[in-house]
Amino acid sequence: MRGGMGNMQKMMKQMQKMQKDMEKAQEELVEKKVEGTAGGGMVTVIANGNREILEVNIKEEVVDPEDIEMLQDLILAATNDALKKVEEMTSQTMGQFTKGMNMPGLF
């Protein structure tokens, strides 16, 4: 029985370290930025790892008052591209902690 307690304490320490490492990784993700683009770079959207949009940049050539729908579509496409990249970055960073584990809803 005694050996079981030692293993349990070791496992608890490992879990605590993993939790701290995960918290640090999540904090670092918030600081990272990704850029989504649309229209061959005519519209760019910058997002952070917290899924917040930080910037929307539109090249002057795109702005045509006659075709506002195209501009709206480009902004939407660039935003979705940026958020997709945030999701990929999050999965890569946080996936190292959950290799082989099924933890639905954790991230």
| pLDDT digits 0-9 by tens, 10-64 | 888 888 988 888 888 888 888 889 899 988 998 888 988 888 888 888 888 877 7
3-state secondary structure the chain: CHHHHHHHHHHHHHHHHHHHHHHHHHHHHHHCEEEEEECCCCEEEEEECCCCEEEEEECHHHCCHHHHHHHHHHHHHHHHHHHHHHHHHHHHHHHCCCCCCCCCCCC
Q: What is the pLDDT of residues 58-91, one digit of tens each?
A: 888 877 777 878 888 888 888 889 888 888 888 8
What pLDDT does residue 40 have?
Answer: 92
Task: Quote the pLDDT of residue 3.
Answer: 59
Structural domain spans, the chain: 2-95
pLDDT of 106 higher than 70: no
Return the CATH number of the domain spanning residue range 2-95.
3.30.1310.10
